[in-house]
Chain A
């Protein structure tokens, strides 16, 4: 191999060079085959034991009711995340306001919506007509019962709850921007709102986007909670079917497979987003959370 100095002995090599052989290869092989064997045995049992009726599962997999439930799940996820992100940005900007009352209002909101279970909030919105039977403005008024359908209650519950979590994420993003950026923007005469809109929020995005993708994946699964108020999403539809044909496990598997498919695709998109926008700090923080 290369000799560092010309004065060294050239030609004959008196040592072994190259990458060393890895120790413990046999042990690794043994563990790997054990895990593969266990997984294969479990899969064989599930597929052949007759405990699950795969014909039923397959028959209902593309059932129109299931597909419409799937569409509703996606719609609720998208709309709730839009409500949540917009609300989260507002709450986060409020949280850093120079007016104590404004930042306190934001803190109160986050405290309430993060401090109560989402399930309770959903049932609460569904029954809001008990508290406010009508809403009106001037001579115009409308029955709350007509306004707050299961879909609206689901959207309110999921969106308002998500807003509280998103505000913390956006606030962390705002906090991650170097304070010199704000100072430089102020020094050339930008006003508070302009600094936020043109400098701080665009830079906060790379910290905000990866956990927001995480929240979206969580939201895909959280929509199943709205089955308690009958919002016609995937789980509600599955329940409706097994209430009639008693194939409870099979329909839960149908729903689970769809949830798995959706979260897998969403995770793929998240991975791409992280590489595209994410900075190292944000990714490290998320990995740290999962560990």
Chain B
């Protein structure tokens, strides 16, 4: 392939950037949801995106792995352009096979878990290991069991999603994403659909994951998690980033009035 445009060239200083989003723009019909959002996430960094509903934070996250196709802008993971390739000055979509393979390196955890309801917990985790990574069945099963054990679910490997609590389902969903050894892990409000007493078990798994050096982008309303675990907090409103910075500072002393107003409401 040929060189990237100079404005987004990955220089040596930026080589530590694991995820790069540039000028992501997205409209649904006449409604502009994202107006040119850019974000760099360093290797091993944990970034929390907060903001009122309708601010575009979930849409932005879904644009990062092209579950929503942005109208403009670009996404790079570990220096590789996501879903697109430039050939002789023309932007083409990647071949479906290559794109699918690439998506396996961008893990995603959904608000509503989206576990495969026809499969057991173990099968949920091992499916892509077999089908995408082409591992033999026994090896995929061993990895699945190990990852499920790491989220504390070794006793539930043969349970179906309907037999698990919300918190357990979300931990299986995290295990399913982690098993693929993604370069970056995206969380779309992972605790918003949980009963309050189950939030903690999911957050503690995520905290453990952050400790392993996983690069994470987390859309969340859990300010406590943002303060204690994330390296950086990004506040979005009206389809753009209003303010960002070291989590402790932004959350304690927001400089923008809109951030102040939002934080005062949810505390």
Contact = CB atoms under 8 A, between A and B. Distances in A.
Partners in one complex: yes
Interface of A: 178, 180-181, 183-192, 194, 198-199, 202-203
The 6 lowest CB-CB distance pairs between A and B, nearest first, are: A189-B104, A184-B114, A180-B114, A187-B108, A188-B128, A189-B132
Contacts of A202: 118
A128 B220 CA distance: 65
A183 B114 contact: yes
Interface string B87-124: 00000000011001111111110101011111000000
B67 A183 contact: yes
Most chain A beta-carbon neighbours within 10 Å: one of B65, B100, B102, B132: B100
Contacts of A187: 65, 67, 103, 106-108, 177
B164 interface: no
Contacts of A189: 100-105, 128, 132, 180
A102 to B, nearest CB: 15
A184 B111 CA distance: 11
A180 B110 contact: yes
Nearest to A182: B114
Interface in B127-183: 127-128, 131-132, 173, 176-177, 180
Nearest to B123: A198
Contacts, number: 66
A88 B96 CA distance: 26
Size class of B's contact patch?
20 to 34
B118 A188 contact: no
A185 B116 contact: yes
Contacts of A184: 108, 110, 114-116, 173, 176
28 contacts: A180-B110, A180-B114, A183-B108, A183-B110, A183-B114, A184-B110, A184-B116, A184-B173, A184-B176, A186-B100, A187-B67, A187-B103, A187-B108, A187-B177, A188-B127, A188-B132, A188-B176, A189-B103, A189-B105, A189-B132, A189-B180, A190-B127, A191-B97, A192-B96, A198-B127, A199-B118, A203-B116, A203-B118
Contacts of B112: 180
B171 to A, nearest CB: 15
Contacts of B176: 184, 188
A2 B118 CA distance: 46
Contacts of A203: 116-118
Contacts of B104: 188-189
A190 B132 contact: yes
A191 B100 contact: yes
A186 B131 CA distance: 12
Interface of B: 65, 67, 96-97, 100-108, 110, 112, 114-118, 127-128, 131-132, 173, 176-177, 180
A188 B101 CA distance: 8
B67 A186 contact: yes
A178 B132 CA distance: 22
A10 to B, nearest CB: 39
Contacts of B102: 189
Most chain A beta-carbon neighbours within 10 Å: one of B104, B116, B127: B116
Contacts of A178: 114
A190 to B, nearest CB: 6
A187 to B, nearest CB: 4
A188 B180 contact: yes
A194 B96 CA distance: 12
Contact of B114 (A181, A191, A192, A194): A181
A273 B173 CA distance: 31
B110 A191 contact: no
Nearest to A201: B118
A101 B158 CA distance: 43
B127 A191 contact: no
A74 to B, nearest CB: 31
Contacts of A183: 67, 108, 110, 114
Contacts of B115: 184
A11 B173 CA distance: 57
Contacts of B96: 191-192
A190 B107 CA distance: 12
Nearest to B66: A186
Given A189-B132, A190-B132, A198-B127, A181 B103 contact: no
A251 to B, nearest CB: 48
Nearest to A186: B103
A180 B180 CA distance: 19
A246 B114 CA distance: 65
Given A187-B65, A189-B180, A202-B118, 19 more contacts: A180-B112, A181-B114, A181-B116, A183-B67, A184-B115, A186-B67, A187-B108, A187-B177, A188-B103, A188-B132, A189-B101, A189-B102, A189-B104, A189-B105, A189-B128, A192-B96, A194-B131, A198-B127, A199-B118
Contact of A181 (B117, B131, B177): B117
Contacts of A181: 114, 116-117
Contacts of B117: 181, 203
Contacts of A191: 96-97, 100
Contacts of A186: 67, 100, 103
